[in-house]
Structure 1
Amino acid sequence: MDQPTLRALLGRRDLGLRLISDERTLPDGALDLPLRWVHSSDLADPTPFLADELALLTTGSQFDTADGVHAYVRRLHERGVVGLGFGTEVHRSGIPDELIAACAALRMPLFEVPYDTPFIAVARAHSEAIAAQAYARRTWALDTQRALAVAALRPRGLFATLTELARRLERWTGMFDAAGVLVHEHPQGLLAAADAEVLAARATDLIARGGQAGQSLTLGSESYTLFTLGRTGHLRGVIAIATASLDAEARAVVTSVIAMAGLALEQNEQFARRRRRLHAQVLASLMLDDPTLARRVLGSLPHAPIVVAVADADAPVEALEEWWERTRTDAGTALFGASTDDGVVMCASAEDAGVFDEIAERFGIRLGVSEPDGYAAFSRAHAQALAAQRHGGTGAVRYADTVASSILSAFATDEARLVAEARLAPLRAHDGLEEALRVWLQHDARFEQAAVALGIHRHTLRTRIAQASALLGTDLSTFPARAELWAALQTVR
């Protein structure tokens, strides 16, 4: 039911009220402002006894002069009276011209109350409208609470509840998660990209403060009200509603949704912790190259051949899990994930391997990705993904690409570098000796070509190689010695 207004009061046929002012000359929406009460008075200055958003009824017995009429109307206008009703044929026949002129000058709505309509009837009609509107709002609130309770029982109950709230409020409603990402909105696509960016930043700021709070802001012509979810110091997200304010009934409904959402998110976190432990145990069984237990526990797995990926240990696990669930539900992409000490392990069918590029880009993390294989080789695929992840680079790094670069890079550990540096230490006391060895080995131990590359005589190079052989205590004429030396040079490099 619409809120009681002066227009609604004038529309009551049983009262016979008639608008005297030309609506075209009134301020925009002047007849549609909230009308809180109707009062009657013939005091020359009733303003000390009036409230805002009130319509005043008078018979005009207090009007002595035209100047007094203008001052009277000005006082009412400044006090916030939204309309003036004049009771005709009581003290005066018709409405005084000076009153009509004063109301027109100050753009105050003026209406006639006919002699047969008592002022008390006008006040009673308006009070009945207020009571009816209050009853309608309470009924709306009860119906809305029931609808929200039903929505909470649907799949993805939290999002279903927010959608129902948006429908009942007839306002855009969105939810931002703890990372400031818009995870749900209704209706979809109505929020401008610029507004979404500002709201996300404001939501992140509210969550960072850690205290339960509400906040309003205006972006262009649209106003929004934001409410935090979760308990103080442990906020879970923010609900945003495209409205500048809410009446008592709507605020009560929103408060209940906030409580439901906070509880749902808390339960979701507890469930997520249990699921992480379960997935870690399932991953341990997959590492035995036997998917039997995993299928019994999970019901299904990505179909083979599969690709395994490993993310950094500091990857945002919660955000990844939420994204996995949405992707699995919305796009039907089968994904399995678990957290380990080595990082976040993910598994997808080879045909869906492109999802790892999307994950790396979306979350700004580095992923190592294995070659396609079956579950019987899961541990090998995991080792490949881990090696690719540790290889370096950005985004999703494929194991096949790292192998193509050099097998020696796989052995370039910190321990290997220490051993290589110790092995080559005798050479570094002599300028140019290490470089001479490197160029010589690069040219397949051919003195002529290596000497040309170094810009020295071949006999000089032979002398340097003999010196290096003596310093290292090894015979560089043999292939194993040359291979070991080359590996050391590549490792320290």
Structure 2
Amino acid sequence: MPPTLASLVRNSSLHLTVLAGEDQLERPVRWVHTSELDDPTPYLEGGELLLTTGIKLGGTGTGTGTGDGDEALRAYVHRLADAGVVGLGLGVGLSHTEVPRPLVEAASERGLPLLRVPQPTPFIAISKAVSAALAAEQYEAVTTSFEAQEELTRAALGKDGTAAVVRRLAARLGGWAALYDATGALSLAAPDWAARRAARLAGEVDRLRRRPAPASAALQGRPGGADTADEDFVVLQSLGADRRPRGFLAVGTEARLSPTERYVLNAAVALLTLTLERSRDLRRAEERMGTALLRLVLAGETATAREVAAVLYGGLPEGAVRVLLAQAARGEEDEGDPLADLADRAEQAAGRAGERLLVARDRSAAEERLVLLAQDGGAVHGDCAAAAEEGDALALGVSAATVTEQAGAAFAQAERALAVALRSGQHLVDHDEVGTGSLLPLLGDEAVSAFAEGVLRPLREHDRTARGDLEASLRAWLSRHGQWDAAAADLGVHRHTLRYRMRRVEELLGRSLDDTDVRMELWLALRAGDR
């Protein structure tokens, strides 16, 4: 604890007497400064105990007079209080036989502690007492910090190290602590009762997720407009060393953290970051192993893949499975690394649900993709689908449910579904939707749009410069399957007029409308132009 005015008053060797501000004696003293200036505030930072003999101060020595000197004393006190001085000590016996009453009255008005320093007590004795207390505080802080660091390090190296660090941190701070995974989901809280408080921070954690690691935020009071009877001071800190948060730590205490407690928090953040952040070489090695294992599965070497996976991952997904194929959506280059975020989210979901998962990067295609072999309808399947639907950074293709032995065929299904998602601008496409849906979503491709524009250009140029409305006439005629009367009625013209227009269409396009392939291409061109 830092020295306070109360601790100085309790020091019997100093013989200090409190004349004003008795209820403010618990203020910490950060330094002692001696000054005989009428205005020493330019040389103060705040938090000092100012000592003076009052040589330059006005007022009467007996403390019973009035006049301009007394007003100067009051102004002097107000200047010190405004500057953040924690206390004023007046040495009597030299300039003043006693502390002037206006000084006492002004100090009482401002709530500024005023101490009488008797002549036998040298100012340097007070300075030494404060310096010794500050040195003791610093030594205690260093000792406490090292003890806490050793305790947290032992906890990190023990069984269930991450949870142990969180529990020890909460105990050290006399409050609560909570750990969130990379997706912002609450992983654990200590003590157990803190889980409900930690859950209220979901919005703040989500905002911190959008900032590069390391990042932090400080909150006063419980979030979400909750009852403030036991409001906390909360500090949030992201965990990660390569700008991608691997998790988040929150601590809540009744009072703001002291410098020593902040050191303890920083030590916990460093240990948790080391725990969550695996080395880059290890991550690359794991990625290569996952890719090799995936290739075995897709090639039909399921028996070999099971043997390898049993050692590395505890086995492959069992029962009905799906292949999920994800790719960053076009035009989302500024969204960080959505594939890495999806991989983290999938692994977190698998860990929470106890599901087996195979996930790997696929760099064989023109655009990098993420491949996941996951349990059908499981937590990973659901979380990946939710991730695709939540934003614009991902496109996800999902195969039909199958068994691991048929993963190669399922991968092809996921590729087709992903292609549809990318072409149509959808975030998520299931293979079942591809088989039962329409071809029209496929017409959004740039090449198809360019083809449609080229085919229909002669008709559109004609319609801009002459009468006839050939494009609308062609659309009506095709939509009525070549039925002249029905199409003419839709257009509100005579069937002979429509026949004339269709001959002009053939002349301008250089194609015969009797050809079924030509009619099909023209209809698709019209629909692609619509999209």
* Structure-2-length-normalised TM-score: 0.63
Specify the alignment match of 1:394 in structure 2: 426
Once the two structures are superposed, the pairs formed by residues 219-230 of structure 1 within 5 Å of their partners are: 230=241
Once the two structures are superposed, the pairs formed by residues 339-358 of structure 1 within 5 Å of their partners are: 339-340=361-362, 341=365, 343-352=369-378, 353-358=381-386
- C-alpha separation between the residues in 2 aligned to 1:37 and 1:410? 75
**Offset at 1:319?**
0.8
Specify the alignment match of 2:326 in structure 1: 311
Letter in 2 for 1:54: E
Pair 1:170–1:487, CA change in 2 (3 A): farther
Q: Does the alignment pair 1:84 with 2:103?
A: no
Once the two structures are superposed, the pairs formed by residues 82-481 of structure 1 within 5 Å of their partners are: 82-85=86-89, 97-111=101-115, 125-153=129-157, 161=165, 165=169, 168-169=172-173, 189-190=197-198, 195-196=204-205, 199=208, 203-204=211-212, 230=241, 235-237=243-245, 249=260, 253=264, 267-295=278-306, 296-297=308-309, 298-313=313-328, 316-340=338-362, 341=365, 343-352=369-378, 353-364=381-392, 365-391=394-420, 392=424, 394-406=426-438
- C-alpha separation between the residues in 2 aligned to 1:133 and 1:421? 79
Letter in 2 for 1:357: A
Specify the alignment match of 1:36 in structure 2: 30
- C-alpha separation between the residues in 1 aligned to 2:238 and 2:399? 43
- C-alpha separation between the residues in 2 aligned to 1:327 and 1:485? 51
- Secondary structure of the equivalent of 1:84? strand
**Offset at 1:52?**
4.8
Letter in 2 for 1:344: L
- Secondary structure of the equivalent of 1:366? strand
- Secondary structure of the equivalent of 1:354? helix
RMSD across aligned C-alpha pairs, in angstroms? 5.9
- C-alpha separation between the residues in 2 aligned to 1:98 and 1:447? 110
- C-alpha separation between the residues in 1 aligned to 2:34 and 2:479? 106
Are the aligned partners of 1:286 and 1:294 in contact in 2 as well (CA < 8 Å)? Answer: yes
Are the aligned partners of 1:308 and 1:347 in contact in 2 as well (CA < 8 Å)? Answer: yes
How many residues align? The count is 465
Q: Does the alignment pair 1:6 with 2:5?
A: yes
- C-alpha separation between the residues in 1 aligned to 2:116 and 2:139? 30
Q: Which moved more, 1:43-52 or 1:160-169?
A: 43-52
Q: Which moved more, 1:74-83 or 1:380-389?
A: 74-83
Are the aligned partners of 1:229 and 1:258 in contact in 2 as well (CA < 8 Å)? Answer: no
Letter in 2 for 1:135: Y
Q: Which runs of no fewer than 5 residues in structure 2 stay unpaired?
A: 222-231, 330-336, 463-467, 527-531
Q: Give CA-to-partner distance per residue, 1:65-116, whole Å, 9 cap, x none.
A: 6565664575465265422346789999986544422422443212456899
Q: Give CA-to-partner distance per residue, 1:240-278, whole Å, 9 cap, x none.
A: 888999766556556655655666666344433322222
- C-alpha separation between the residues in 2 aligned to 1:393 and 1:349? 26
Q: Give CA-to-partner distance per residue, 1:381-402, whole Å, 9 cap, x none.
A: 2222221222235233222122
**% same residue:** 28
Letter in 2 for 1:395: H
**Offset at 1:152?**
3.2
Are the aligned partners of 1:162 and 1:173 in contact in 2 as well (CA < 8 Å)? Answer: yes
**Offset at 1:117?**
8.1
- C-alpha separation between the residues in 2 aligned to 1:116 and 1:287? 92
Q: Give CA-to-partner distance per residue, 1:444-478, whole Å, 9 cap, x none.
A: 999998998898879x99xx99xx9xx9899x8xx
Specify the alignment match of 2:19 in structure 1: 20
- C-alpha separation between the residues in 1 aligned to 2:388 and 2:361? 16
- C-alpha separation between the residues in 2 aligned to 1:417 and 1:284? 36
Pair 1:3–1:347, CA change in 2 (3 A): same
Pair 1:122–1:313, CA change in 2 (3 A): closer
- Secondary structure of the equivalent of 2:139? helix
- C-alpha separation between the residues in 1 aligned to 2:46 and 2:144? 27
Letter in 2 for 1:36: R
Are the aligned partners of 1:366 and 1:396 in contact in 2 as well (CA < 8 Å)? Answer: yes
Letter in 1 for 2:113: P
- Secondary structure of the equivalent of 1:308? strand
Are the aligned partners of 1:370 and 1:388 in contact in 2 as well (CA < 8 Å)? Answer: yes
- C-alpha separation between the residues in 1 aligned to 2:288 and 2:19? 75
Q: 1:55 aligns with which of 45, 49, 52?
A: 49
Are the aligned partners of 2:62 and 2:96 in contact in 1 as well (CA < 8 Å)? Answer: no
Pair 1:185–1:449, CA change in 2 (3 A): same
Pair 1:20–1:193, CA change in 2 (3 A): farther
Letter in 2 for 1:376: E
- C-alpha separation between the residues in 2 aligned to 1:262 and 1:337? 23
Q: Which runs of no fewer than 5 residues in structure 1 stay unpaired?
A: 25-29
Specify the alignment match of 2:226 in structure 1: none
